[in-house]
């Protein structure tokens, strides 16, 4: 897509944002790749290097060697190294500051929307968050940093309270999503009049129902993604482009319109 096309499309998205009453942003791993976090199914995605089967709750619980590999990855900063929000995260946070964001529903576990400035109560993390570790037996929760600090001497940390299996508080395949989060995100999707999808293949359910609920409730759909998605044909605006660059252009147009 040429530069002029992207800018024209960005202007169309800005028009939709300015006129929307309730805008829901739905984000996937593609919004965080420009922060240095690999996505899952894009080029060089995580699933081209790791086996998604190892991230099923069944295999994580059954195989200590699988848990050891994942704790080693975390000790090396593999998934939660010190990363910073990028222009796309800051653009979404600016939408909130301008009073043009109802909420963010994210599949990401990196906390970058909150770090960029979106208030916690406006971020619905469908797949949990890597800031914490949970004991699968007594459900006690620990800060991720506390467990990582133990990894230098323990390759398989156990719950100090009950010796149970510890797992990062992200949702693994085969695990239930946090029900209260999913139902509030679904409720918001049914109420929004604009749903902006940023950086997702929209192939993992039930998360991918969110933009579908919005569409079925009559909301306009915007998709900003590198690569096609199953919802492209239902998008009012669909941009093939990098999240940071596109959202930067969008917010330039939003600022100009609001200033008029
Ligand atoms: N700008 C725009 N799009 C991008 C960018 C970028 N800078 N970088 C990557 N993308 C696109 C990729 O091409 C891909 O189409 O973002 C999409 C990311 O899709 P996935 O890797 O499938 O990530 P996501 O949709 O979030 O996956 C959903 O699957 O494995 C599970 O739990 C995991 O939450 C994850 C879920």
Note down pLDDT in tens along the chain; length 260 residues: 676 789 999 999 999 999 999 999 999 999 999 999 999 999 889 999 999 999 999 999 999 999 999 999 888 875 556 789 999 999 999 999 999 999 999 999 999 999 999 999 999 999 999 889 999 999 999 999 899 999 989 989 999 999 999 999 999 999 999 999 999 999 999 999 999 999 999 999 999 999 999 999 999 999 999 999 999 999 999 999 999 999 999 999 999 998 87
Measured at the alpha carbon of residue 137, what is the angle toward residues 136 and 139, in degrees to the nearest 5?
65
Q: How far is the CA of 43 from the centre of ligand 1 (A)?
A: 10
41 CB under 6 A from ligand 1? yes
189, 105 in Cβ contact below 8 A? Answer: yes
Question: Please, what CATH class does the domain formed by 1-36+85-127+177-260 belong to?
Answer: alpha beta
Q: How far is the CA of 29 from the centre of ligand 1 (A)?
A: 4
Catalytic residue numbers read 127
- pLDDT per residue as tens digits for the range 138-152: 999 999 989 999 998
| Residue to substitute in 25, 32, 42, 83 for testing ligand 1 pocket (most ligand atoms within 8 angstroms of CB) | 42
35 CB under 6 A from ligand 1? no
CATH superfamily of 38-80+129-170: SIR2/SIRT2 'Small Domain' (3.30.1600.10)
pTM of the entire structure?
0.95
Indicate which residue's Cα is closest to atom 17 of ligand 1: 200
CA 149 to chain centre: 26
Q: Closest ligand 1 atom, CA of 199?
A: 16
Strand partners, 198: 27, 224
Burial of 163 (0-12, 13-18, 19+ CB in 10 A): exposed
Q: How far is the CA of 164 from the centre of ligand 1 (A)?
A: 32
Q: Closest ligand 1 atom, CA of 47?
A: 30
Indicate which residue's Cα is closest to atom 5 of ligand 1: 30
Q: Report domain extents, the chain.
A: 1-36+85-127+177-260, 38-80+129-170
139, 162 in Cβ contact below 8 A? Answer: no
CA distance 214 to 200: 16
Same fold, 1-36+85-127+177-260 and 38-80+129-170: no
CA distance 52 to 64: 16
40 CB under 6 A from ligand 1? yes
242, 35 in Cβ contact below 8 A? Answer: no
Residue 70 main-chain phi, psi, to 5 deg? -70, -40
């Amino acid at each position: 897509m040429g530069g002029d096309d992207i800018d024209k499309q960005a202007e169309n998205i800005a028009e939709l944002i300015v006129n929307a009453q309730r805008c829901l942003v739905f984000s996937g791993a593609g919004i965080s790749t420009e922060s240095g976090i690999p996505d899952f199914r894009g080029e060089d995605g995580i699933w081209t290097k790791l086996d998604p089967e190892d991230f099923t709750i069944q295999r994580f619980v059954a195989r200590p060697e699988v848990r050891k590999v994942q704790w080693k990855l975390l000790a090396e900063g593999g998934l939660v190294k010190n990363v910073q929000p990028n222009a796309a995260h800051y653009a979404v946070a600016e939408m909130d500051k301008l009073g043009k964001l109802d909420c963010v529903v994210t599949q990401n576990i990196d906390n970058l929307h909150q770090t960029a400035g979106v208030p916690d109560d406006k971020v619905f993390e469908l797949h949990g968050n890597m800031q914490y570790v949970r004991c699968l037996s007594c459900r006690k929760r620990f800060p991720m940093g506390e467990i990582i600090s133990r990894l230098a001497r323990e390759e398989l940390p156990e719950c100090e309270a009950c010796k149970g299996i510890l797992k990062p508080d992200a949702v693994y395949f085969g695990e239930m999503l946090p029900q209260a989060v999913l139902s509030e995100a679904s409720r918001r999707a049914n109420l929004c009049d604009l749903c902006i999808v940023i950086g997702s293949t929209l192939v993992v359910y039930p998360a991918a129902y969110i933009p579908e609920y919005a569409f079925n409730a009559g909301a306009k759909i915007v998709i900003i993604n590198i690569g096609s998605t199953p919802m492209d044909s239902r998008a009012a605006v669909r941009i093939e482009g990098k999240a940071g660059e596109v959202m930067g252009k969008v917010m330039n147009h939003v600022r100009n319109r609001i200033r008029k």
